[in-house]
């Protein structure tokens, strides 16, 4: 069996969001949660618990986003030191 991209889901302080998903995406999330729970030895993982780690993983893998984020932080720290 191939390893899923997500590992065990950590508990973190949540921020409540309300979203609408297509039914097919919801079904896929339910299936993914079942497979991940089986693979990681956890209890069933519901779609709301999957969405945040999936989005985080997506953003971590987006090279353009990471590059621009680093540049933005560099700009912010550079402008702050010029004032000091």
pLDDT at 80: 55
pTM: 0.69
Tokens of 21: 């998903």
pLDDT at 15: 80
CB-based contact 15:45 (threshold 8 Å)? no
Give SS3 for 75.
helix
Which residue shows structure tokens 């039914």?
Answer: 23
pLDDT top residue among 60 and 9:
60
pLDDT at 84: 45
- For the stretch 4-39, what's the b/e string if a residue is b when 16 or more beta carbons lie within 10 angstroms of its beta carbon? eebeebeeeeeeeeeeeeeeeeeeebeebbeebbee
Instruction: Quote the percentage of the chain above a pLDDT of 90.
Output: 46
Q: Share the mean pLDDT of the chain.
A: 86
Domain boundaries defined on the chain = 23-83
């Amino acid at each position: 069996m191939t390893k899923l991209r997500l590992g065990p889901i950590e508990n973190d302080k949540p921020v409540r969001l309300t979203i609408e998903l297509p039914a097919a995406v919801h079904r896929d999330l339910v299936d993914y949660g079942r497979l991940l729970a089986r693979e990681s030895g956890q209890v069933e993982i519901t779609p709301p618990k999957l969405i945040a780690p999936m989005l985080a993983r997506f953003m971590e893998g987006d090279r353009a986003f990471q590059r621009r984020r680093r540049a933005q932080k560099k700009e912010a720290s550079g402008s702050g030191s010029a004032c000091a």
